[in-house]
Chains A and B, each alone.
Chain A
Amino acid sequence: MTAPTPTSTTAVLRLHPHAGITRRRLLSAMAASMALANGACSPPSRREAHPWANLPEAGAGALPLYYATSFVRGGYAHGVLVGTQEGRPIKVEGNPAHPASLGATDAYAQASVLQLWDPDRSAVARRRAAGAPPGASTASSWAEFEQAWRARPRGGLHVLTGPLTSPTERALLAALLAREPGARWHVHAPGADAAAAEGTRIAFGRDARPIWHLDRARCVLALGADPFAEGPGAVRQAMDWARARSAARDAGALPAALLAAEVAPGLFGARADRRVALAPARIEQALRRIAAPWVPEAGTPPATDPAVADFERRTLAALHGAGADSVVIAGPDLSREAHALVLALNQRLGAVGRGVDFIPPPDAAPDAGTLAELVDALHAGTVVTLLVLGANPAFESPGALEVASALPRARLLVHAGLHVDETAALADWHLPLSHAYEQWGDALAHDGTASLQQPAIAPLYDTRSTSELLALLADDPQRDGRGLVRRQWQRRTRLGAAAFEGFWQESVRSGVIANSAFPALALPAARVAPLPASAPPPLVARFASDPATHGGEYANNGWLQELPRPFSKHTWDTPLLMGPRTARRLGLGTGDVVQAEVFGRALRAPVWVEPLHAEDVFTLPLGGGRRAAGHVGDGVGVDAWPLRPVDAALAPLAITRTDARHAFATTQKGFSQEGRELVRTLPPGAALAAEPARAALYPPFASPVHAWAMSIDLDTCIGCNACTIACQAENNIPVVGRDEVERGRAMHWIRVDRYEGTADGGSRFQPVPCMHCEEAPCELVCPVGATVHDSEGLNVQVYNRCIGTRFCSNNCPYKVRRFNFLQFSDKTHETLAAQRNPDVTVRDRGVMEKCSYCVQRVARARQHAERTGVALVDGDVVTACQGACPTRAIRFGDLNDPGSDVVHAKASPRHYALLGELNTRPRTTYLARVEAKE
């Protein structure tokens, strides 16, 4: 058959087409893939793939082999480097050459490697016999599907995809549609901000997508938006902001003013100098008053709340001060008219071309229909064959559409995806897709930059990439994924064979097509439409995708489920959020279970009273309550999709309380600092009082060669949690599950603490890894010397010597030690073992563990230096948390190297040690957060 050259891996799996991955088969598959990476046979082979040779990001401490590829979320590419060991992808780093990453990643990208090894991934084609109940499918094969496809009834082909930016996939899709008269393509983008798109149409009469340059702005106003967390450019935006802020700080200039009016607390709002929590309608009123000087035609509703008035006054002052260096960012909570108004405001402020550029939307699909149109077609009976590619409409769709009941109306329903999900259960055929790190492909970044995908491992199962599948469906002569992508770019570039080869190798090696970002559009003067004046309903439902599972797509990812949500610190749940006054009015408290009703559709869900949440509005999470996600994600949280209206992110809501209660599993109970100076703050330009020199009873032990230390900048930390997951991936940290988290046994080595900030409800984040105290209290009390100091100042934990007295944890003032109270590391799912870092011991029941400063990376770097004779230089050792951090808040290095980044950091006037008065002499220290004086 003409699938990718059968590798030993896939061959092994084909021997037993009957699904389910057994231990033996997996092991042989793994053995095969190891052989692949080491040997020089089919994908990923040195001949075809082009490993990232010299990795500036992780230097000498890096893994043996990296592949530059792209992690695609919501259709957009995030450039990553997939680190492999023994041929197994085990860790993801950001791709420094990629505009959406610049070397950093978000939590999703870090967790993507677990998605690759997810034991619940679909491994084989499945068919459901006619008339069989949903989900009652049996294992089949690609060959059988190909026959069925050939024999399918002609005409009435409809294809449903998620947002699609891949040039190759779109070309192949176009070819497929062209072959079939009357074929139709529909796009369903559950996470997309429809109002924003419509707003640009109102303002400019065309589709356009803003590209924010937060490094150029001196005033950023976010309205119902979170530029640090939302959208494909979030990591880049956070990084731009942080870089500019550090530069300004070092130059003694005032940092850019950040202002936020938001419904639910967001990362940007937490970092803003001024923040107000408002219901969407009131945000829009505030917007009109703020925009009035520049866009008077939008009208100025009378001010009401004094607190809001104060916010508006300061905002106006900031906008006037920054003038053309301002940007105003509107988010999904605003109406399309408000978006248009914001676009006009930016334009008249003079921000366009400075703080913001507009490009054609990389995922624009003018010729594609919507999900609603597809449902109509299904009801009209005009859909003969329906292809669902990489989408899960049976779960991720507004309840009003009744998609699940409409889908079976297609005579032949084919679903392709990573999992046998809710849609697959309804399909006649389910086809297993390859994971991004198993395939050749391409996709566009938020700024339109074309990014390539190359496999870091041969497909674990008998899977196809989307383009290979499309080629098969379109009966394309070329069936090999790599061939398809090459052909696409050959046609695109029109280069000669030799020239193309060079271009190809360079592009695959770096993961990006050089200079392929979209050019900025020249746009006409923006027009504004009158904003809806209708009074908002007393209680509004606002729909937002769960920050951990991204609308349910990653529900089966244990790392993400167990990742404490930035503000509530709850895990394994999707509560309804609301403000404190609203809660009091409705007589509700955190943990009460309510009945939420929108347009007659009801949902029972627990509520969480979030002090930072706006009043008179509930945030309903999208992404909980999966029914066919897998053994991890099924039944976690509640599913608010059925309540979501078809065409709006907001809806009138009715709440009735029930007697039921619900216990949340949280990792942090209180958010007050109890008057203790834990997160220190200081006004711009100020310096902290120097730490008093503290006497030591004994002479210190010297670290003659290296003295490793870390510095964490609380001024640029945005609390995004990327470090926590990066650490989890690097150090084989187990997932303990909801109940154990509730019992206070979460295992994260670096936790991100949140404390209440200033009166206006800001938040202060503080990542807390092991402090590696020079006078470590934990070491003193260990009866067997299982935790001791090494010659480079690391406080090391000797797992195989630990007998589990837990005295070290009691004696740790920072409580950064984690104990395996039970057998936490998963021994039942074989694929998970393949993800684990072979350089890090997998801890069993009964031993203590904690942050090791990624000692395995330190060791690799040392060995590299010994091997090559080249002395270590600053940046050779990058800890996992440091590598992932989008704002570069974490710095790690050698105190004996006077030129090192960390030495400079510790010389800063903002430098301080957490609980310094205890005189444990921590090697991990902090830089105070700069806050404009109230």
Chain B
Amino acid sequence: MSRPAVSHGSDVLRPGWGYADVTDKIAGIVLTRRPGRVWVGAFFATLAGTLAYLAAMGVLFWKGVGLWGIRMPVAWGFAIANFVWWVGIGHAGTFISAVLLLLRQKWRTSINRFAEAMTLFAAAMAGLYPILHLGRPWFFYWIVPYPDRMNVWPQWRSPLVWDLFAISTYLLVSALFWYLGMLPDLATLRDRARARWKRVAYGLAALGWRGEARHWARHESAYLLLAGIATPLVVSVHSVVSLDFAIGNTPGYHSTLFPPYFVGGALFSGFAMVLTIAIPLRHAFKLHDFITDVHLDHAATVLLATGAVVAYGYAVETFFAFWSGDRFERAMVVDRWTGVYAPWYWLMIACNVALPQLLWCKRVRRSAAALFALALAVNLGMWLERVTIVVQSLHHDYLPSAWGDFWPTAWDWIFLLGSISTFAWLFLVFVRLLPAISISEMRELVKETS
């Protein structure tokens, strides 16, 4: 009779880990570890921010979107920019889980779970804005096709309707994917938990999973299929979001480049956010053995690659503005460089194009601190990109007589910070309630590396 497997180590898992150790380590974070002072402080701070966000929504619904700086001609402002930003961030999770799974990337294993959680929360934050930004938000459901007395239906040619279907599908599929992958781990927590209420709670969530071989077989094939479905979905979602602009005829919106360029940008910002989360997470819960520098290196490499796609997007956009000979496009680009929003634009170039070039050097890719700072910069840069596209394109379009500048009000900032705070709060809750790393897949990894 053979001994239980123990990992001999690899660049994605340090040696010496057995089935029981990985299980107890990860489950322990949820079940036994007492919350640290930092976590508690962050929890209450972000909770306060979340409540403030809800209050601000109340005021918004009461007064109207006039609270924001939006105006004619800039009828879209931060709300839409934040929406696109969050959706983009929400892309990394599914990309990591689905695409890397299909590509059989081992380094995916220890980061996919929280990356998926991040995806869900980001998509949820994003999903709020299209409703918040409506003039009459209480009628948002009119975009949904349902038979009603007046026999009116959505107008299928509008990208906003496509948005509804893309975002809601994405949310749902990501949630299913996440939950299905987590079932065995929930069973583990059910069996590891001591307190009865925890056993009941996790037991209910685990749906009675018992790890029977046939179940595992079907589970694997379903998980693989979902990955296969989610892969084109990831691409489609941000393509559709980009059509919100590309379908429009505004210079700066109307570009066939947008879908790929937006998807690239989405992964760019998504991986930036993965690093923004992974680095503190690994530090807080001493997960250096599971989330190794190799993980950071790989993520950084993806960041560098997608950053290149984004840079290419900027270049092509500019090139076509001049090459097309369209004077409106040209004027738009020149205004981007020299107009009132030029500082935003150049800061965006610095964050999204200049700084990521540091990633060519391995020492930066392996340094947690450097990567963390860089990731924050990219997050900022990608937000600036969304704002530039949404606002700058609109403020100087066809008729000079109708030109006008958008400047954010305090409310605009409240609605940005509120969503960030809520996102952080959800994540803090997640790491205490659910396994932030897939336990069963880690056991598999132990087996494969033993």
Contact = CB atoms under 8 A, between A and B. Distances in A.
Interface magnitude class on chain A: 35 or more
Interface in A457-504: none
A676 B402 CA distance: 14
A470 to B, nearest CB: 49
Interface stretch (B71-79, B183-191, B356-364): B71-79
A782 interface: yes
A818 B71 CA distance: 9
Contacts of A918: 249, 398
B249 A811 contact: yes
B22 to A, nearest CB: 48
Nearest to A798: B152
Most buried by A among B158, B159, B161, B331: B158
A813 B327 contact: no
Contacts of A751: 401
Interface in B237-253: 244, 247-250, 253
Interface string A818-833: 1111110000000000
B397 interface: yes
Contacts of A674: 331, 400
B71 A805 contact: no
A811 B65 contact: no
A785 B157 CA distance: 9
Given A745-B66, A745-B72, A846 B159 contact: no
B228 interface: no
Interface in B213-262: 244, 247-250, 253
A848 B136 CA distance: 10
Interface stretch (A83-91, A274-282, A321-329, A665-673): A665-673
A134 interface: no
B62 to A, nearest CB: 10
Most buried by B among A740, A743, A744, A819: A744
A804 B160 CA distance: 12
Contact of B76 (A753, A810, A815): A810
Interface string B42-74: 000000000000000000000111100111111
Contact of A743 (B71, B327, B401): B71
B158 A670 contact: no
A751 B69 CA distance: 22
A780 B247 contact: yes
Given A674-B331, A821-B64, A803 B136 contact: yes
Nearest to B68: A821
Contacts of A822: 63-64, 66
B143 interface: yes
A678 interface: yes
A670 B394 contact: no
Nearest to B160: A783
A813 B397 contact: yes
B200 interface: no
B186 to A, nearest CB: 38
Contacts of B249: 777, 811, 813, 918
Given A745-B66, A813-B398, A781 B135 contact: no
Interface in B386-401: 394, 397-401
Given A675-B327, A810-B248, A815 B73 contact: yes
Nearest to B162: A783
Interface string B365-409: 000000000000000000000000000001001111111100000
B155 interface: yes
A783 B76 CA distance: 16
Contact of B399 (A671, A805, A813, A823): A813
Interface string B72-95: 111110000000000000000000
A784 B72 CA distance: 21
A676 B327 contact: yes
Contact of A781 (B133, B134, B154, B160): B160
Contacts of A810: 73, 75-76, 248, 250, 253, 394
Most buried by B among A810, A815, A845: A810
B139 interface: yes
B319 interface: no
A745 B66 CA distance: 9
A669 B75 contact: no
Given A783-B155, A820-B135, A845-B135, A806 B66 contact: no
Contacts of B66: 740, 743, 745, 821-822, 845
A300 B108 CA distance: 94
Nearest to B135: A804
Interface magnitude class on chain B: 35 or more
B146 interface: no
Contacts of A811: 248-250
B65 A804 contact: yes
A641 interface: no
Contact of B158 (A753, A754, A781): A781
Interface string A657-686: 000000000001111111110100000000
Nearest to B161: A783
A918 B403 CA distance: 18
A803 B155 CA distance: 13
B337 interface: no
Contacts of B135: 802-806, 819-821, 845-848
B134 A805 contact: yes
B140 interface: yes
B285 interface: no
Nearest to B71: A744
A799 to B, nearest CB: 10
A802 B398 contact: no
Contact of A784 (B74, B154, B398): B154
B136 A780 contact: no
Contacts of A673: 400
Contact of A780 (B76, B153, B157, B244): B157
B142 A753 contact: no
A811 to B, nearest CB: 5
Contacts of A294: none
B243 to A, nearest CB: 10
A783 B158 contact: yes
A807 interface: yes
A523 interface: no
Nearest to B150: A801
A807 B327 contact: no
B399 A809 contact: no
Interface in A697-755: 740, 743-746, 751, 753-755
Contacts of A175: none
Interface string A848-861: 10000000000000
Given A676-B327, A803-B139, A813-B249, A821 B70 contact: yes
A673 B65 CA distance: 31
Nearest to A786: B155
A817 B142 CA distance: 21
A784 B143 CA distance: 6
A669 B155 contact: no
Contacts of A818: 72
B134 A670 contact: no
A847 B69 CA distance: 17
12 contacts: A678-B399, A740-B66, A743-B71, A755-B401, A781-B160, A782-B158, A801-B142, A805-B160, A817-B72, A822-B66, A845-B136, A846-B134
Given A783-B143, A785-B153, A810-B250, 12 more contacts: A675-B327, A744-B404, A768-B399, A780-B158, A781-B157, A781-B248, A803-B143, A811-B248, A813-B397, A815-B397, A818-B72, A846-B134
What 9 pairs between A and B have smallest CB-CB spacing? A804-B135, A846-B135, A744-B71, A821-B66, A822-B66, A753-B401, A815-B402, A806-B75, A783-B160
Interface of B: 63-66, 69-76, 133-137, 139-140, 142-143, 152-155, 157-161, 164, 244, 247-250, 253, 327, 331, 394, 397-404
Interface of A: 668-676, 678, 740, 743-746, 751, 753-755, 766, 768, 777, 780-785, 801-807, 809-811, 813-815, 817-823, 845-848, 915, 918
